[in-house]
Amino acid sequence: MKIHLIVVIILTTLIVMCISSHRTELRELQFSPTANAKRLFEASWENNTANESISLSIIFDGWNATIKGTQEIELSLSSSSVIPFLFENSSILRFDLEKIEVYGAKVSVKAFYDGKYGILLLNVTPTRSTQKIRLFYTSHYQPLLDINMRDPIEWHMRSTKDYFYIPPEAYMFLSKLRGKFTIKVLHYSTDYTLAGILKLRNGKYKPLLPEEDAFHTDGKRLYILLGRWNIYESTIKINDRNIKVIALTDEGNVTNALSKILKVYSSHLIPYPYDELIYIRFKGHRSEYEGYGLYGGALGTQFKRVIPHEVAHNWFAMYADLGILNEPFAVYTSSLYNLTSEQVDKWEGLCLSLKDKTPIARINGITRQNMNTLYQRGGFILRSLQFVVGNETFFKGLRELLGICHAKDCTQPEETLNLIKEIYENLTNKDLDWFFKEWFYTADYPNFTVSSLKVIQNGNYYRLILNITEKNGFAMPLEVKIVTPTENITKRIFVNGSAILGVELKEKPLRVIIDPNDWMINADGSNYRVNWENFMLEKIEKEAMELNGVEIVVN
């Protein structure tokens, strides 16, 4: 197909109307073919600053978005400079450029198109101390059909009639200018609420709410979001700081739950480090349980099963970036909020069902194969570390880790694991090499069992003697709970291969429970396993075990 049949912007001759010596108007452009317009855009680099503003009117009929825009750039050039503008044209996105106005400068234009992207190269020669460029255009965009993943955040957002997003490519000409940036949405349907997600210079994303329908930023990759949400707001106090809690959702008012999450996490970690938390509900591409941690917020498909994890990323990812280890720390942190014993049992069952056998320390990137290993096994290992070092020491170590990694790069997994080990060894004054080697450098699990049990009656007392063995080469402290008709007695022992536990009881024991609080994943533990045919976690029938009339339960 010839280029003049593809490009919707009129491709006849270049018409330049010189209205005055200080104003130029361009109405029709001639585009030349090029192999790669994006590469040409990236190569066209001049270090210019500007104030840039865009005014938009958005009409959406449930399928098509028509966006009428004016993009204005204010410059203070002292010599000639080439200003590049990139735009995207495809089957679901079409730009109609109506005219370009230039004030305070002479201008010439070169335009190129490669079949998907077009580029305008404006050679601007100043005639006054300040210059102004205005682009007038209409964009025709079909958000529900857009499957282009231009940026990582787009992997986690799917447009529907109820909530849709507009990427920068669909509402503006992309430039490489630096400076203040304002987007004002003058008109949109009253059925929708307006919000935004801004990509920060560090690659993170920040949720934004408009001020009088305008977004003010110092960066230009802003996603415009429109949704049929209700807006809920509340304010909480954490360490004498007021934190604004905002939810854009159709699930009802979840700000009380969000506030509780912030308070719980702040009490165990460091106080919530930002002035507000904004939750935005949005559909995902892959499942009904998707989310993305935002700087001062969270994006997710639903609140209950997604948002506690994504909010945790405000500590582990936004405040302190641990690279791929952000995920196990977020899984663990989310367990601090409303975790029940049944949920822990299911969590353990999921870990025991994993097919991937990659040790955490050997994972360098997140894939479908290793994702649950990193997230679920990694999060549970941190729960086990808490048991080993104790609650007070564990959370003190997390606070120290957050402080260190807020100030330095902690994105290399093995280096960060060594840092974590060093922190806890210093806090406990103990060698923890054994724990990190068996949990982070192998993919196995301990297998604790009661190999023998004796009950000896001595007058009014009973002497219980247990031989507890571990079959997979793990050395771990272990809780053992002994149940009698009127008492529950919990003892802690260290098992390295095997250990003997002797307990004097007032009554005959009825049951012995190994790891009653599910502090670690045991190879024979959990009442759940994943059925991989339907990808469902299902309850399993475990064979009852009894020794000398005493029931043995491995949690």
Categorize the per-residue pLDDT at 23 as very low, low, confident or very high, splitting at 50, 70 and 90: confident
Helix (H) or strand (E) holding 470: strand 461-470
Q: Tens digits of per-residue pLDDT, 40-99?
A: 998 887 788 999 999 999 999 999 999 999 999 999 999 999 999 999 999 999 999 999
- 3-class DSSP state of 467: strand
β-sheet with 230-238: strand ranges across: 230-238, 241-249, 276-281, 297-300, 291-294
pLDDT at residue 543, as a whole number = 87
| Torsional class of 61: left (φ above 0), alpha (ψ -120 to 50), beta (otherwise) | alpha
Q: Tens digits of per-residue pLDDT, 291-342?
A: 999 999 999 999 999 999 999 999 999 999 999 999 999 999 999 998 999 9
Tell me how far apart the alpha carbons of residues 404 and 408 are, in angstroms, rounded to a whole number.
6
Mean pLDDT along residues 335-363: 95
Structure tokens at 503: 């307990």
Mean pLDDT along residues 458-466: 94
Burial letters 226-250, b for 16+ CB under 10 A, else e: bbebeebeeebebeeeebebbbbbe
pLDDT at residue 13, as a whole number = 38
pLDDT at residue 21, as a whole number = 52
- Alpha-carbon dihedral sign for residues 513, 517, 523, 526: positive
Structure tokens at 22: 């200080």
pLDDT for 238 beyond 50: yes
Mean pLDDT along residues 473-493: 97
Average pLDDT, the chain: 93
Contact predicate 324/363, CB 8 Å? yes
pLDDT at residue 175, as a whole number = 93
Contact predicate 262/277, CB 8 Å? yes
Residues sharing a CB contact under 8 Å with residue 75, sequence separation 6 or more, in sequence order: 48, 50, 83, 105, 124, 126, 130, 131, 132, 133, 177
pLDDT at residue 321, as a whole number = 98
Residues sharing a CB contact under 8 Å with residue 35, sequence separation 6 or more, in sequence order: 114
Q: Tens digits of per-residue pLDDT, 426-449?
A: 999 999 999 999 999 999 999 999
Mean pLDDT along residues 280-291: 90
pLDDT for 6 beyond 50: no
Q: Tens digits of per-residue pLDDT, 382-429?
A: 999 999 999 999 999 999 999 999 999 999 999 999 999 999 999 999
Q: Tens digits of per-residue pLDDT, 185-213?
A: 999 999 999 999 999 999 999 999 999 99
Contact predicate 59/65, CB 8 Å? yes
Q: Between the CA of residue 467 and those of 169, 448, 454, what are the distances in Å?
A: 67, 11, 9
Domains observed in the chain:
23-156+167-190 (no CATH), 327-443 (no CATH), 448-554 (2.60.40)
pLDDT at residue 9, as a whole number = 39
